[in-house]
A and B are shown apart, each in its own frame.
Chain A
Amino acid sequence: MSTTKPIQVILARQLASSLAMPILLVDTEGTLIYYNEPAEAILNQRFEETGEIAAHTWSTLFALTDENRKPIPAQERPTMMALSQRRPFSRTVWMQCGLRDWKNMNITAFPLIGEGRQFLGAQMIFWEVEA
């Protein structure tokens, strides 16, 4: 038998797949298990081609700095904070994917917690800050 994802994670993917906001979905280990089409444009990759991406790999796909252009260490990125502290985390950052222009983005990450306090992973939403 294959291992079916928890229903909350399945529904989170289905919701993300029908939204126009860029959304990333990670499991409890930080593996990027899904990103939607709007997020593909940010990551410059297609989920259909990459499938799941290990935490240590996808976190290198883009550079993040704080608003003073100081690099944000991996463990202080919103998704890692949501995973490690199991609480919502939001911050405004500068983000660069590959050699593209830097973008001013707000990133909000929140943990997915099921009934019985079952920890399921986290979801992250990107929101471009209006200039």
Chain B
Amino acid sequence: MKVTLWGVRGSLATPGPETARYGGNTSCVGVVGRKGTMLVLDAGTGIRRLAASIPANVHRVDILLTHLHMDHIQGLGFFAPLYRPDFEVHIWGPGSATLGLQARLLRYLSPPLFPVHLSELSCKLVMHEVPAGVAEIGEFVVTSTLVCHPGPTVGYRIAEADGGVVAYLPDHEPALGTLTFPQLPRAWTSGAELASDADLLIHDGQYSASEYAGHCGWGHSSLDQTLAFGTFTEVKHLVPFHHDPGHSDDDLDRMTSQALDRSKPGYRVTSGIEGTTIEI
């Protein structure tokens, strides 16, 4: 499968010269299987450019939303296939204790926040509630479970038949409530099963270690915690993701270098940079 990072920024789209190298679009990752099945992980602002890359012969896309915070759905209304009658769009995402996925999405995809109502979209739209255990989407087996982040939030584990595994946990605070991390076995660590032995882990690394102290409980991880989580779950390749909007390219270079020096992970680490394609 091919994994392309179309948006790597967390919280808020951050265009500008100081973020041009890492990119300013919010969370969106494209995954294309060997048989052509196309998954879109989150619908941040990066999804607009992803849509332009879809081959003409593709008529179905599955969008896997981890949660419905704005930086993960803001691009949804600008996803061109939604307006094509020849297109089938499946949206997977979490409902809440009181509202289903569609009702929750309608809060954004309806006036006054958005001019077009969900019911006015031309495509064939299908909603799927998660966590859904294990689901098959084309050549992929997709596992979703709730993870530690404010509000209903899932992480995804995507396995290709006879192929690799990518785990996607863009907003995740597995260290919440622990004095040292990792402290507990995998069974007691949020997201550990999803990430276990993955070929590629795309994981929240929003803060520096010192910043995390002031943001404990906000649902994100420090780079050091992310690297520790990668070691703990024995992944082969880690992409720190969901960069804080306040971090410039130079900040990210420095923070990453310092965290790598401290952690010295025994696996490959590639900073999340918009436009990067990783083949598994």
Query: A57 interface residue, CB < 8 Å from B?
Result: no
Answer yes or no: A99 CB below 8 A from chain B CBs: no
Smallest beta-carbon distance A100→chain B, Å: 30
* B64-72, B76-84, B85-93, B146-154: which lies at the interface: B146-154
Stretch of A5-13, A68-76, A78-86, A123-131 contacting B (4+ beta carbons < 8 Å): A5-13
Interface size class of B (residues with CB under 8 A): 20 to 34
Give the residue among A3, A8, A10, A13 with the most B Cβ atoms within 10 A: A10
List of B residues within 8 angstroms of A15 by Cβ: 177
Q: Are B96 and A7 in contact (CB under 8 A)?
A: no
- Decide: B95 and A10 in contact? CB cutoff 8 A: no
Q: Give the docked Cα–Cα distance between A6 and B192 (Å).
A: 11
Task: Decide: A5 near B145, CB < 8 A? Known: A14-B177, A15-B177.
Answer: no
Q: In the assembly, what is the distance between CA of A102 and CA of B196, in Å?
A: 47
The distance from the CB of B262 to the nearest CB of chain A, in whole angstroms, is 25
Interface membership of A49, Cβ < 8 A: no
Task: Verify if A20 is at the interface (C-beta below 8 Å from B).
Answer: no
Instruction: Give, as a whole number of angstroms, the nearest-CB distance from A1 to chain B.
Output: 5
Residues of B within 8 A of A50 (CB): none
Q: DSSP majority for the A interface? A: helix
Is B185 in the interface zone, CB < 8 Å from A?
Answer: yes
Contact indicator A2/B177 (Cβ below 8 Å): no
Q: Is A115 on the interface with B (CB-CB < 8 A)?
A: yes
Please report the total number of A residues contacting B with Cβ < 8 Å. Answer: 18
> Which A residue sits closest to B147, measured CB to CB?
A7
Q: Contact at B196–A2, with CB atoms within 8 Å?
A: yes
Please tell me if the beta carbons of A4 and B145 are within 8 angstroms of each other in the complex: yes
A13 and B188 CA atoms in complex are apart in Å by 9
- Contact mask for chain B residues 180-194; partner A; CB cutoff 8 A; 1 contact, 0 none: 000001111111111
Expressed in whole angstroms, the Cα–Cα distance for A63 and B196 within the complex equals 42
The residue from A1, A13, A18, A114 contacting B196, defined by CB atoms under 8 A apart: A1
Contact of A10 among B129, B152, B189, B196 (CB under 8 A): B189
Cα of A114 to Cα of B97 in the assembled complex, Å: 8
Q: Which residues of A contact B188 (CB under 8 A)?
A: 4-5, 10, 13
Given contacts A1-B193, A4-B190, A115-B95, A14 and B145 within 8 Å (CB-CB): no
Residues of B within 8 A of A10 (CB): 148, 188-190
Q: A115-B95, A115-B96, A115-B152 are in contact. Are A3 and B177 (CB under 8 A)?
A: no
Give Cα A130 to B56, complex, Å.
74
Given contacts A2-B185, A2-B186, A4-B145, contact A11 B152 (CB under 8 A): no
Given A4-B190, A114-B146, A115-B94, 9 other A-B residues pairs in contact with their CB atoms under 8 A = A1-B193, A2-B192, A4-B194, A5-B188, A6-B146, A7-B145, A7-B147, A10-B189, A17-B177
- Chain A residues close to B by CB (< 8 Å): 1-8, 10-11, 13-15, 17-18, 114-116
The residues of B with any CB-CB pair to A shorter than 8 Å are 94-97, 129, 145-148, 152, 176-178, 185-194, 196-197
19 contacts between A and B (CB under 8 A): A1-B193, A2-B187, A2-B196, A4-B188, A4-B191, A4-B193, A5-B187, A7-B145, A7-B146, A7-B190, A10-B189, A11-B176, A11-B177, A14-B177, A17-B177, A114-B146, A115-B95, A115-B96, A116-B95
